[in-house]
Amino acid sequence: MGRGEREAVGRARELAGAAARVVEDHERAVDAVRDALRPIQEELVERELDTIPVARLKDVTEGRLRLGELEKGGFRTVRAVLDAGPYRLRQTPGVGQRTADQAFASARQIADAVRETVAVRIDVDRPEPRTTALVRALHVLVEAGPQARRAAETGAGLAARLEALLEEARPVSGALRMLFAGRAGRLRALAAVDELRRLVEEAERDGVPQLLAQTSVDLLRGPDTDLAAWVDFELRASDYYGLLADISGRGPDSAAAEGFLPDDVAARVRQQRLDDGHLRVSLRGYQAFGARFALAQRRVVLGDEMGLGKTVQAIAALAHLAAEGQSHFMVVCPASVLINWTREIEARSTLRPMPLHGPDRQEAFADWKGRGGVAVTTFDALRGFPTPGGGELALLVVDEAHYVKNPQTRRTATVTAWAERCERVLFLTGTPMENRVAEFRHLVRILRPDLTEVADGQDAQASVAGSKAFRKAVAPVYLRRNQQDVLTELPSLQHTDEWEELSAPDEEAYRQAVRDGNFMAMRRAAYARPERSAKLQRLRELVGEAADSGLKMVVFSAFRDVLGTVQDALGAAGTPLFGPITGSVPPARRQRTVDEFSAATGHAVLLAQIEAGGVGLNMQAASVVVLCEPQIKPTIEHQAVARAHRMGQVRPVQVHRLLATGGVDERMVRMLETKSRLFDAYARRSEVAESTPDALDVSDVSLARRIVEEEQARLGMAAAEPV
């Protein structure tokens, strides 16, 4: 055979070798993680089995197992039975072979069940050799990035095809082989060479040899030191935990990951293909399902709880459509998170973000119309752009979509007009309903008017049946997952209500605010006399405790003057302070403040107005959150806490809410419990376990008026018109 055929075979053999090597390198890196993980998992399993009494073995055998003699023999826990084994169990007086075998088999079943559910949490503050080995092993795969998995998958498929064709093409390696191959064999060999040549040329055109070579290098490169691995883990904990969940198979329950959707909807979503070629990050299973949900259902609300990565799920949907050849996308968001969106798109995908904001936004819009990309703009700026033609926009993403809950506002009218011209629309909101079920219904109505006709027929606030029927009616358009269901590695979240008795000056300021009928002054009266403020004193103590432990803290308040008082008090004590972040601080400066706070060494305190800092900014560096006063809407508090307690957090989060006894705080906390139950019934849960007949529709104004009137009556004051 000619030189050309032998060269084609040689190039194919080199490519097959590179493909096989990258598969081996990836498997070796994955096995290293499994090897490091195994002893940690086994210790956790043993600890758990040590807490399970031996009586639980009866559950496995439906009560048929007699355990009295085993317990008399000193076997108190399931672990003790497992450690003993069948032989030692049979040596126990009164225990026969059948009982020993059944007890041991039952213990193994329980151990297997525990092994399937135990979650490994890596304690960044207590590194020890085994967790260090795990972090180092994970570091290799995290550093190699999601392209390592893609390269391994590409390599596995390519190696299999090339090796089969190389076997067919073996006769071309020599004239004698070709002679003995026979006519049919020669034809097969030549056809195989042609196919090898085509595959190699196609791979070279797509840059596959370079991808395979670079990935092999990346997978052989570990961290320089243990410290470097731990530092990287703290910075990219969500990436580490995501890989750990994939490799260990310890992902969340599939029904929870799919938001407990009806079977027919979930099945349709699972069938949706997801092309992640334009992504620079690996998706968790529930995130991939969220992106598929948006693609399969076309016009949806993604209502995941704060901290689960709604942004990256939206970017994954955009990336898939871009891979299919779509070119124009639009993201609409509050001004406070516009910078964050552009950064996330750049960091997590190969897509090109184009901010349409500021004085040059019309020029930027014209550029985007011509070249395409992901336009990122604000609700206010969107009004200045012409609505798209049919089919012009591949996907409209609306972040913090509860901003368009009121059909009477211009903002809502503009978004509705754009949504009507787009085949695909994705609303993102962790708080789809704050005060009124009607608000959430309006979001659904923008997307699917046909569904709200069904939902509107339900008695939405009368009973548990109403909320169940409502969730079922909107299932094709609404997906929500909660942190506790899908983030098994998330550190604990501890809420503490810090009840304080008002000091005499506090009480005086409070009574004056009640006398004036000034609800807002009542809420911040506890800070009106800083020198004797009981709440401020408790805040100082909490800051001191955080400083002693070297922890970062975020302090939220709805009021700028309260933040000013806190700033003066903590600044005088020499506390490292950042902020305050308020509504008047430009979005870019807000993000820089958070970045500087995160980069600070050791203890620091970030001050933020809750409506400005509690939305869109990620504050995982903080593990202590203080709320200076209760908020009018429970979702505002949830959002603020979720800025710290979210994917990527590596430490337990402590939340302290400063409350004053006997006044507005007590009444607000009691009333807000009702709002939380309403939200749970209609938006958070897939099923509701208890009736909520008292889930009243309470607006902010009526709530304030009721509290003022009740406090005036309690304190024996003449009624005044509330301010």
Show the 3-state SS of 631-683. Answer: CCCHHHHHHHHHCCCCCCCCCCEEEEEEEECCCHHHHHHHHHHHHHHHHHHHH
| Residue with the two structure tokens 């995908």 | 349
Nearest to 122, CA basis, from 488, 517, 537: 488
| Backbone phi, psi, residue 649, to 5° | -75, 135
For 528-630, list the strands marked E by DSSP: 552-557, 577-581, 604-609, 624-627
Residue 615 Cα distances to 382, 415, 583, 608, 644, angstroms: 20, 20, 11, 11, 11
698 pLDDT above the threshold of 50: no
Is the CB of residue 292 less than 8 Å from the CB of residue 259?
no
Q: How confident is the model at residue 18, as a pLDDT?
A: 94
| Backbone phi, psi, residue 224, to 5° | -65, -40
Buried b vs exposed e over 549-560: b needs ≥16 C-beta within 10 Å?
Answer: eebbbbbbbbbe
* More confident site: 128 or 235: 128
Q: How confident is the model at residue 179, as a pLDDT?
A: 56
By three-state DSSP, how is residue 301 classified? Answer: strand
Strand partners, 659: 499
Residue 642 Cα distances to 164, 509, 614, 645, angstroms: 53, 32, 8, 5
166 pLDDT above the threshold of 50: yes
* More confident site: 621 or 382: 382
Is the CB of residue 565 less than 8 Å from the CB of residue 540?
no
| CA–CA dist 50, 318 (Å, integer) | 48
For 459-551, list the strands marked E by DSSP: 478-479, 493-500
Residues with Cβ within 8 Å of 318's Cβ and at least 6 positions away in sequence, in order, are 329, 345, 349, 351, 374, 395, 397
Q: What average pLDDT does this structure show over 281-301?
A: 93
Q: In terms of DSSP bridges, do strands 577-581 and 552-557 run parallel, antiparallel, or are they unpaired?
A: unpaired
Nearest to 243, CA basis, from 545, 589, 509, 489: 489
Strand partners, 218: none
**By percentage, how much of the chain surpasses pLDDT 70?**
87
Dihedral (CA of 377, 379, 382, 388) sign: positive
Q: How confident is the model at residue 180, as a pLDDT?
A: 56
H or E segment and range at residue 356? strand 353-356
Amino acid at 365: F
Strand partners, 498: 658
Q: Kindly compute the dihedral angle of the four CA atoms of residues 40, 45, 46, 50, in this order, to the nearest 10 degrees.
A: 140
Token pair listed for 89: 């169990």
Nearest to 514, CA basis, from 680, 716, 281, 667: 716
Amino acid at 137: A
| Residue with the two structure tokens 């949504």 | 419
Q: 508 pLDDT band (50/70/90 cuts)?
A: very high
| Backbone phi, psi, residue 520, to 5° | -65, -40
| CA–CA dist 495, 523 (Å, integer) | 21
H or E segment and range at residue 383? none
Give the up-direction half-sphere exposure of residue 104: CA atoms within 13 A in the CB hemisphere: 16
pLDDT digits (tens, 9 = 90+) for 32-80: 999 999 999 899 999 999 899 988 888 777 767 778 888 888 888 999 9
CA 313: distance to chain centroid?
9
Residues with Cβ within 8 Å of 426's Cβ and at least 6 positions away in sequence, in order, are 294, 300, 302, 314, 317, 395, 396, 397, 398
What pTM was estimated for this model as a whole? Answer: 0.68
Token pair listed for 488: 């098994």
* More confident site: 671 or 506: 506
Dihedral (CA of 564, 567, 568, 569) sign: positive
Query: Nearest 5°: CA angle at 518, between 517 and 519?
Result: 105
By three-state DSSP, how is residue 77 classified? Answer: strand
pLDDT digits (tens, 9 = 90+) for 361-387: 999 999 999 999 999 999 999 999 999
Q: What average pLDDT does this structure show over 584-600?
A: 87
Q: 617 pLDDT band (50/70/90 cuts)?
A: low
Q: How confident is the model at residue 177, as a pLDDT?
A: 61
Q: How confident is the model at residue 301, as a pLDDT?
A: 93
Q: What are the structural domains of the chain?
A: 3-37+126-228 (no CATH), 43-117 (1.10.150.20), 252-485 (3.40.50.10810), 490-714 (3.40.50.300)
Strand order from edge to edge, sheet including 425-428: 353-356, 373-378, 328-333, 395-398, 425-428, 299-302, 478-479
Least confident of 335-344, 504-513, 668-677: 668-677
Is the CB of residue 120 less than 8 Å from the CB of residue 488?
no
Amino acid at 81: V
| 174: number of Cβ within 10 Å | 12
| CA–CA dist 203, 541 (Å, integer) | 63
Q: 685 pLDDT band (50/70/90 cuts)?
A: very low
Nearest to 627, CA basis, from 604, 609, 651: 609
Nearest to 615, CA basis, from 586, 588, 637: 637
Q: How confident is the model at residue 221, as a pLDDT?
A: 86
Amino acid at 511: R
pLDDT digits (tens, 9 = 90+) for 84-116: 898 888 888 888 888 888 889 989 989 988 887
| CA–CA dist 269, 263 (Å, integer) | 10
Helices (H) and strands (E) in the chain — how many of each?
32, 13
Is the CB of residue 354 less than 8 Å from the CB of residue 368?
yes
Mean pLDDT of the chain: 84
| CA–CA dist 698, 496 (Å, integer) | 26
Token pair listed for 280: 């620079």
Q: How confident is the model at residue 693, as a pLDDT?
A: 29
